[in-house]
Amino acid sequence: MSQTPAQAGTVYLVGAGPGDADLLTLRAAQLLLEADVLVYDALVSAAVLDRVTPTAERIYAGKERGNHAIAQEDINHLLVRLAKEGKRVVRLKGGDPYTFGRGGEEVETLAASGVPFEVVPGVTAAAGVAAYTGIPLTHRKHAQACVFVTGHLQDGTMNLDWPGLARRRQTVVIYMGLHGLPTVCAKLIEHGLPADWPAAIVQQGTTRNQRTVTGTLASLPKLADEAQLKAPTLIIVGETVTLQSKLSWFEHQAWLGN
């Protein structure tokens, strides 16, 4: 059964995926061609923006470290206003709207304001980057659980459940953790993981700028600094990182220009 066209006066929270435009869902691609207004984040790639109808008004609402184009509360109210003006609004978010995308906060405001909405899931960065990097999130021999956390909390701290994260037989994925990488590694060692525990950091995964740096909790901060990686990045910690050299495929193709 085909999805209905975008309706006037409705907000669509759409996941843009981790960067590669071919990872958009069919529903997301349809809505990008039907939008009256596009409100998009910093993590939305240029390749995805190229799929948006040229007639749509574009409003940048990105949040970069220390630089928020529009405050979150103002974004919430902007979406309400645009919908009440009768617009078909696509709120485009990197990855998945409900995975560290503040989608829940925005939908709360829409629901409270009586604005119709639809949430279109996207390939979250952990799934996309893991696949393109060659690091399985789970593996029968190495990890039977996977935990997603954010390296940047609302109050700017990194007060995570370190004992819960510093466990064997699981993969830990840290979003937005580039600047906090030394703290992440030190805390995991402090709470029980060995210094030689496998860890990786991936720059701009699923795009032509993808770069993967692998090492250990002890060595990764220095290796990442030497590599001069640029955000967005994803940190992956766990024994499945040891499979990366064997299972990597995308970066080899990118280097060959395929």
Residues tagged active-site: 41, 63
- Alpha-carbon distance of 194 to 253, in angstroms, equals 34
Residues 6+ apart with CB under 8 A from 168: 193, 239
One DSSP character per residue, 72-98 reads HHHHHHHHHHHHHTT-EEEEEESB-TT
Handedness of CA 135, 93, 44, 77 (dihedral sign): negative
- Alpha-carbon distance of 114 to 112, in angstroms, equals 6
Residue 220: both structure tokens together:
């990764």
Can you state the percent helix, strand and coil of the chain, rounding each to 5?
35, 25, 45
Cα–Cα distances in angstroms (integers) from residue 151 to residues 68, 80, 154, 173, in the given order: 17, 30, 10, 10
Residue 38: both structure tokens together:
């596009």
Cα–Cα distances in angstroms (integers) from residue 180 to residues 176, 223, 233, 257, in the given order: 8, 14, 11, 33
The structure tokens 């906060």 sit at 105
